[in-house]
Structure 1
Amino acid sequence: MHKVLVLGGSGLVGKAIITELNKCKEFETYATYFQIPIPLNQNRIVKLNIEGLDNINSILNTIEPEIIISCLRGNYDKQLILHTKIAEYLKKSSGRLYFCSTTNVFDNDLTKPHYEDYLPSSCTEYGKFKIDCEKRITGILHDNACILRLPQVWGKDSPRMKELLKSLTNNEKVIIYPKLILNTITDVVIAKKVSYIIQHNLKGIFHLAADDIISYKDLYNELIMGLGFNNADMEENFEEEGYFAILSKRNNEFPEQLGLTNKSVITYLIN
């Protein structure tokens, strides 16, 4: 039995990972939350406020996790300190850290999609913060740090989906970016891939994304039509352009049933 601690367990990705790991008898899953309750045994959840980092050592020493999955959000400086402490804790016991990163680590170059072996370069505070975390974690844990970069994440109950449905229901304008190319993934598929990575002790950097890319306009047109809003008020914005997308060279390391296309993401969301 391996003790797993999910940081940020009340978020979209965190909740999906907890649900998936609970299917595996080899994992004893714990999770942190800040305000929103987590659907988990009350003895296995603990409140973590990254604005006050005093309790992270207590959490680690009490639970003694062998594996930590970070889906945290919040203040960048505090997160960097917290992830440093976590990495240093895991180093003592050869534990593993799985860190959720982002497409934004490549947002300084939108001329092409990016793969795992491309050098990150960001022009945004968010992207630079994630790069700093990636470097800090891997510098301490080396092969025991696994970087999980994510594109635009969707789920049936995701904030992105809720916001879109709210706009459509209220006949509000939906902004479309015809010149932007991207890719997506669902919370459920992220969770299944993370579980597979952990169980098979896969290492390094993973781009957990659909196997293909799609234009922002096509994605939203197909999704909105599939949801039954044929007369939606959509406004095109041509200011954002380029490839805000990651692709993977490691898809052959996963079973075929974990493959994903943007079309299958749309199908999942509308059914």
Structure 2
Amino acid sequence: MRKKEGKERILILGGSGFIGYEIYKELLSYYEVYCTYCKQEGAFSENQVFFKYCVEEDSLFLLLNEIKPTVIISAISGDYKRLFDAYQQMVNYTLLHEDCSVLYISSAEVFDGKFTHPSYENDLTLSETPSGKFKIAIEKLLLETIPQQTAILRLPMVLGVNSPEIVHLRQCIRHKATYEVFPNLIITTTTIDKICQQIHYIVNHSLVGIFHLSSYDMVHHEDLIREITFKISDKTPIFKSVFSSNEDRYNAILPKVNQLPESYQIAVAEVVEESGLNEEIMSIR
């Protein structure tokens, strides 16, 4: 589904975090991009497109009125109550500015109360965790108040050579430390590079709706991690198998209703290949 196009002024909330900063780098050359940071004074305070914003202390409505974005990409974290207040301020701003759209970074956690099958965009959400329940509340707020200005972007496990999960895996390999794997958990996955490309496409084409930015195929968590480990090194960490049940359980989201063009899709094999690349090779790509 599309909304009207135009020259975009983008604000990335949580632009100093792993996902937010990678999106910033992807979009910077194409749009007028602004970001927020909270605690990383030295790294971002001298950058004129980064604004200090702490959800526990500051007014989002005032910041939005200062920057006047036409696209808000939210990858922010913080206290749930203060965050919910901030999203209500975001909705109030967007209701006053019909040319402004919101891209909310959600996740597969909104389905973590379902275990028997993978989940698609229009499936009913159900969560058993505080994080998943909060994301469901924000999705509901946005979809009920500004549906024609909202894109919900649900993410699976996000990997890639410099992702926190792969950095942790490399450290565990190096130090022969314990790394947890879930043999009975079936998941989807993706890379940070693919997410950034997909978000760029969604912004460029002014898309709204619910999107599952995941691989189009599934894999057992343990198999995925072992394959990536094999790509990284001939050594392994100490794998600790964690069983939550005797049967396979799904924490997998799949695209079905809002599929992006084929060049913006990704398979598990591609995630394995990219996540297992040598760090020095990635630095010169």
Verify same fold: TM over 0.5.
Answer: yes
Structure 1 match to 2:251: 244
CA deviation string 1:151-208 (max 9, x = no partner): 1111322221221111111111222211110011111111111111111121110001
Q: Which runs of 4 or more aligned residues in structure 1 lie more than 4 Å from their structure 2 counterparts after TM superposition?
A: 37-41
Change over 3 Å in CA distance of 1:41–1:264 after alignment to 2: farther
Q: CA deviation at 1:58?
A: 2.6
User: Is the aligned partner of 1:75 residue 2:79?
Assistant: yes
Listed as ranges, the matches of 1:21-60 within 5 Å are 21-24=27-30, 27-36=31-40, 42-54=47-59, 56-60=60-64
* Equivalent-residue separation in structure 2 for 1:231 and 1:99 (angstroms): 36
Listed as ranges, the matches of 1:1-271 within 5 Å are 1-24=7-30, 27-36=31-40, 42-54=47-59, 56-94=60-98, 95-239=100-244, 241-250=248-257, 252=259, 254-271=260-277
> 1:73 aligns to what SS in structure 2?
coil
Structure 1: which 5+ residue stretches go unaligned? none
Q: Is the 8 A contact 2:75 2:105 kept in 1?
A: yes
Q: Is the 8 A contact 1:38 1:45 kept in 2?
A: no
Q: CA deviation at 1:57?
A: 2.6
CA deviation string 1:33-56 (max 9, x = no partner): 1123667982211011111133x2
* Equivalent-residue separation in structure 1 for 2:49 and 2:236 (angstroms): 47
* Equivalent-residue separation in structure 2 for 1:89 and 1:175 (angstroms): 43
Amino acid across the alignment from 2:93: Y
Structure 2: which 5+ residue stretches go unaligned? 1-6, 278-285
- TM-score, L = length of structure 2: 0.89
Q: Is the 8 A contact 1:15 1:38 kept in 2?
A: no
CA RMSD of the aligned region, Å? 1.7
**What is the total number of aligned residue pairs between the two structures?**
267
